Amino acid sequence: MLNRTPESKIGKGARRAAPRDRKRPPLSLGVLDGHLGYFLRRIQVWVFQDFLRTLERVDIRPAQYSVLAVIEANPGLSQSDLADFLGIERARLARMLDRLEKRGLAKRKASPRDRRSHALFLTGEGQKTLKRIKALAAQHEVHLTEKLGAEKRRAMIDMLRDFGR
Amino acid sequence: MLNRTPESKIGKGARRAAPRDRKRPPLSLGVLDGHLGYFLRRIQVWVFQDFLRTLERVDIRPAQYSVLAVIEANPGLSQSDLADFLGIERARLARMLDRLEKRGLAKRKASPRDRRSHALFLTGEGQKTLKRIKALAAQHEVHLTEKLGAEKRRAMIDMLRDFGR
């Protein structure tokens, strides 16, 4: 999506040589060039698309991966703490957990501390599946490193790590 | 969404002192800590939310702003070049332009070079509205600079500018 070059359209309307003969028309970003959000959105779309492509065979979305990874790292955490930690709306997280339970990957247990809350765990199947998912996610991270450069990737993680805290 | 602190829940289940008495439970990101995409998604959600909040009174979404800004900077560009340039699917862009035309902000003209293509322009009303939108978008950018720090903001724009090219 990001790197599609318009070669297929070259030849039509070719009476004017430039700019349609070039691989990319020399367009200007205008005021967008001063908005970090614009550039963040572009790379974030690339990242999601590569993630979905690379993890196609395990049928997992980035948000589901985040949920499984945080449950694995913090077994028994509560549903509401998970929602706060990942910045996911509670109702949306509840639906995601429904799906992950149906697939047999995660389970909710009544919390010993708070009857209204649920403690979250991976199932054995969830642990096995997450292992495969992590191997594919590591491939995705290699793609991103190749695309962005190792140094920029590292610098951006360091700059963003404290953003949401 | 990102900075919601769970104070409101403190006090329930308080038999165990830690970790529920702290402002944020000491949870681990696990494997997510090595994924740039996770951190990009967090800041990108913050950016979208601040954008929508700051620009609420003009009722414009980030993608619509991008489209108006690029048409302003490149009057007469074709619909397909705009789609390629911004990485927007053609069908989605067509729907966005329908809406912007209905609001009287943009117009399509038959292209002199290619009858199947459309040349895009802002209307007078579109130019006036975009001026107001840009002033609010500049406020949003100030919020982002305050949140991230001017130096990191600048460094990230520089690192990402060539990403999609």
ipTM of the complex: 0.83
Residues in chain A with CB shorter than 8 Å from the CB of B23 are none
Write down the pLDDT at residue B26: 86
Nearest CA in chain B to A115: B13
pLDDT at B165: 63
What pLDDT, on a 0 to 100 scale, did the predictor assign at position A165? 63
pLDDT (tens digit per residue) in A88-102:
999 999 999 999 999
Asked if the model's pLDDT at residue A9 lies above 60, the reply is no
> What is the three-class DSSP state of A44?
helix
The residue behind tokens 């997450």 is A130
- What backbone phi and psi angles, to 5 degrees, belong to B121? -140, 155
Beta strands in chain A (DSSP E): 106-110, 118-122
Long-range contacts, stretch B76-83, CB < 8 angstroms, 24+ apart: B76/B119, B76/B120, B76/B121, B77/A25, B77/A27, B77/B119, B77/B120, B78/B111, B78/B114, B78/B117, B78/B118, B78/B119, B78/B120, B79/B108, B79/B117, B79/B118, B79/B120, B80/A6, B80/A9, B80/B117, B81/A6, B81/A25, B81/A27, B82/B120
Q: How close is the nearest chain B Cα to the Cα of A102, in Å?
A: 24
pLDDT (tens digit, 0 to 9) for every residue of chain B, 165 residues total?
A: 344 333 333 333 333 334 444 455 589 999 999 999 999 999 999 999 999 999 999 999 999 999 999 999 999 999 999 999 999 999 999 999 999 999 999 999 987 777 778 999 999 999 999 999 999 999 999 999 999 999 999 999 999 998 866
Q: How far A96 CA lies from chain B's nearest CA (Å)? A: 17
pTM over 0.95: no
Residue A111 in contact with residue B15, Cβ under 8 Å? no
Contact assessment for residue A51 and residue A142, using Cβ atoms and an 8 Å cutoff? no
Q: Whole-angstrom Cα distance, residue B44 to residue B51? A: 10
Helices A124-148 and B36-54 cross at an angle (nearest 10°) of 80
Q: Which of A3, A41, A46, A82 would best serve as a mutation to test chain B binding (most B beta carbons within 10 A)?
A: A41
Backbone phi and psi for residue B136, each to the nearest 5 degrees, phi listed first:
-70, -40
Q: Please, what CATH class does the domain formed by B32-160 belong to?
A: mainly alpha
CB pair distance less than 8 Å for B4 and A84: yes
Side-chain half-sphere exposure of B78, counting CA atoms within 13 A: 21
- Residue to test with chain A: of B7, B65, B77, B163, most A Cβ within 10 A: B163
